[in-house]
Amino acid sequence: MPPKKAVRRRERRRMSRADAQLGMRVEAGSADGGLIPIVTESRNISGSGVYCLSPHYLAPLSKVALTIVLPEVPGRAPGQRLLKCEGIVVRCQGSAGARRDREYELACSFLGLDAAARELLDEYVVWRNLQALRTGPRPVRTRPGATARATAARKPRAAAAARGAATRGAATAAARSVRRTVTRKRGTVH
């Protein structure tokens, strides 16, 4: 039997996601008619939904009320903003980590976001992704008292500076591309 080739899955998401740890609250209906308030932190967010961990299982396709704290984005009015909206649980699976208190991976899709809220989310996602491009991978720190051999094995500063310049160039090109995409949605092209 011939070996199988690796099949590349087509990305189904229509909106880009950003890794972000944002404070949020999820309110879900319980079986007795009350509300279950869940205070958690997001793992990633997009203009269409949010992914987080939950200590409670929530049935897929159930309605939830979401409140997300969006931090200040440079170039916008100062201060944090609360994004309040309804959502639908798309997925709720047991977390893979072995922990005493059970956690669930919760994915919710936003319902009925108005244009201003969606634009605010899109701007935040673009800003967060640009920040990730600019910072790049974090350097590995050596522990204090590392051996001289380990110190000598590090790359020279000139090579590191060249890598930094290349990364900044890529980040600038990516920023221009994202800016063009965002402005096309608004109807103006730069």
Q: DSSP letter string over 51-97? A: EEEESS---TT-EEEEEEEEPP-TTS-SS-EEEEEEEEEEEEEE-SS
Looking at domain 18-112, its CATH architecture is: Beta Barrel (2.40)
Q: Domain residues of the chain, as ranges?
A: 18-112
The answer to whether the CB of 89 falls within 8 A of the CB of 61 is yes
pLDDT digits (tens, 9 = 90+) for 34-79: 788 999 999 999 988 999 999 999 999 999 999 999 988 887 777 7
Cα–Cα distance for residue pair 44/39, rounded to 1 Å: 16
> What predicted TM-score, i.e. pTM, was given to this entire model?
0.60
Element (H, E) at 23: strand 23-29
Q: Residue 71 corresponds to which tokens in the numbers above?
A: 């931090």
Most confident by average pLDDT, 36-45, 75-84, 159-168: 36-45
Q: How many CA atoms lie within 13 A of 129 on its CB side?
A: 21
**pLDDT for residue 180:** 52
Confidence of residue 187 (pLDDT cuts 50, 70, 90): low
